[in-house]
Chain A
Amino acid sequence: MKTNSHKCQTCPSKGEGIFCDLENQALDKVSSAKVFNTYKKGQTLFMEGSPPYGLFCIQEGTIKLTKTGEDGKESIVRIACNGDVLGHRSIFSDTNFQATATAIEETTVCFIDRKFIMRMVSEEPTVAQNIICQLGKSLGDSEDRIASFAQKNVRERTAELLLILNESHGKDHALGRLLEIKLTREEMASIISTATETLIRQLSEFKEEGVIKQEGKKLIIANIDQLAGIAGR
């Protein structure tokens, strides 16, 4: 029978997660408590409105977090990738999940249950500190997003999105920075709260200006400084 033996010490995202500062002995405790799984594209980790049983740490891959509006329309509120943690806000505020998490490519994820986390928080100060950091970071990201929607037009928001995707999924390429993420144009439009047609038009404008290039369905940022200027960074 195959057992689940993925140790935190050998995690590809080591150094980026909330448990990464722990000593080996404590990391062994986390390793023995966690559940490791691979989610295929389209599989759901948790549903909006469901109770949080614990934290999900992304080892490798990409997860989209979506919320469904009153009109039934789905909007992407966050894209999470290697080293990111999901569910921390819900477990500490004891509220149900505020979004649905779905794998947008094959993604490996570790799960650690709430009771174990609570014990670690009281026993290991670095875990508590790192969780506070994560909470602060997600609050900062949310504030940036609100500010971006309030102050920036679609052109600026599209540029901002491409820069964010570059930070999380950008790879060096002969023509610039290749965005190695499988997001549909509809999903990209949803992230910046615009219509798919508007986003496509905006990307075409960027292509005409030489800011981006396209290889198949994948986008390449050809002039990152110009893009940052458009985004107002």
Chain B
Amino acid sequence: MTKKYEILLTNDELGVLEGHMRSVSYDTDFSVHYEGQVPYVGHVLYKGIGHKSKGKKKIGMKEGEVFGIRELLENIPCDRGLIIEKGTQLLAIDKTSLLDILSGRDKKVISIFQRIINF
């Protein structure tokens, strides 16, 4: 299951990942991920308001906080849900794209994802 504390990316790291992840926002509050499920996409909270949920409890996320990338790669469930508020911007990446990056040559982006995965 997910570790207790999630990794927080720096602005520089976010700048690098912007070019490798899909930017997405929603017109309404939305449960992007349900507690106990395997994520089908990994996320980074880029701008706006997001919460990690466990049961009825919600914990606010910080901009730059990562959600579900390690679990996506390992194909294991997240023990938290992810809920975002209207207009929040996320960066998203699927498993095939992530594996392509990790087997590629861009050392800078690989090192960021390695930091996320090994956290």
Write the residues of chain A forming the contact surface with B, with a CB cutoff of 8 angstroms.
1-4, 33, 35-40, 43-44, 47, 49-51, 53-54, 111, 113-116, 119
Q: Which residues of B contact A39 (CB under 8 A)?
A: 34, 37
Which of B11-19, B55-63, B94-102, B104-112 lines the interface with chain A? B94-102
Q: Are B97 and A113 in contact (CB under 8 A)?
A: yes
Contact A47 B26 (CB under 8 A): yes
Question: A49: which of B27, B94, B97, B100 is its contact (CB, 8 Å)?
Answer: B27
Q: Are A1 and B94 in contact (CB under 8 A)?
A: no
Within 8 Å by CB of B96, from A4, A36, A37, A116, lies: A116
Q: In the docked arrangement, what's the CA distance between A8 and B49, Å?
A: 38
In the bound complex, what is the Cα–Cα distance between A167 and B74 (angstroms)? 38
Nearest A residue to B34 via CB reads A43
> Do B96 and A53 touch across chains, with their CB atoms under 8 A apart?
no
Q: Which of B31, B34, B95 contacts A35 (CB 8 A)?
A: B95
What are the residues of chain B within 8 A of A35 when measuring CB–CB?
38-40, 72, 75, 95
* Contact present for A51 and B24 (CB under 8 Å): yes
Closest residue of B by beta carbon distance from A111: B40
The docked-state distance in angstroms from the alpha carbon of A28 to that of B109 is 29
Q: Are B38 and A4 in contact (CB-based, < 8 A)?
A: yes
What number of residue pairs across chains A and B have CB atoms under 8 A from each other? Answer: 66
Q: Known contacts A3-B76, A4-B76, A53-B92: does B38 contact A115 (CB below 8 Å)?
A: no
Select the residue from B24, B38, B41 with max chain A CB neighbours within 10 A. Answer: B38
Chain B positions near chain A (C-beta within 8 angstroms): 1, 22, 24, 26-28, 30-31, 34, 37-41, 72, 74-77, 92, 94-97, 100
**Which residue among A44, A47, A49, A53 has the maximum number of chain B CB atoms within 10 Å of its CB?**
A53
A115, B31: Cβ atoms under 8 Å? no
Q: Are B100 and A4 neighbours in the complex by a CB distance under 8 Å?
A: no
Closest CB of chain B to A23's CB: distance in Å? Answer: 20
What residues of chain A lie closer than 8 Å to B72, measured between beta carbons? 35
B24 engages A1 (CB within 8 Å): no
- Residues in B with CB closer than 8 Å to A113 are 40-41, 94-97
CB distance from A92 to the nearest CB of B (A): 16
Taking A35-B40, A115-B94, A115-B96 as given, write out 20 further A-B residue pairs in contact, using a Cβ cutoff of 8 Å, ordered by the A residue number: A1-B1, A3-B74, A3-B76, A35-B38, A35-B39, A38-B37, A39-B34, A43-B31, A43-B34, A47-B26, A50-B24, A50-B26, A53-B40, A53-B92, A111-B40, A113-B41, A113-B96, A116-B94, A116-B95, A116-B96
Given the known interface contacts A1-B76, A35-B40, A50-B26, the answer about A44 and B31 at a Cβ–Cβ threshold of 8 Å is: yes
Docked pose: A172 CA to B65 CA in angstroms? 52
Q: How far is the CB of B37 from chain A (nearest CB, A)?
A: 4
CA distance A3 to B73 in the complex (A): 11
The docked-state distance in angstroms from the alpha carbon of A36 to that of B22 is 22
Q: In whole angstroms, how far apart are the Cα atoms of A39 and B38 in the complex?
A: 11
A110 → B minimal CB distance (Å)? 9
**Residue pair B28, A47 in contact (C-beta under 8 Å):** yes
Give the residues in chain B near A115, CB-CB below 8 Å.
94, 96-97, 100
Contact in complex: B1, A47 (CB < 8 Å): no
- 17 examples of A-B residue contacts, CB within 8 angstroms: A3-B76, A4-B75, A33-B96, A35-B72, A38-B37, A39-B34, A43-B31, A43-B34, A47-B28, A49-B26, A50-B26, A50-B30, A53-B41, A54-B94, A111-B40, A113-B40, A115-B97
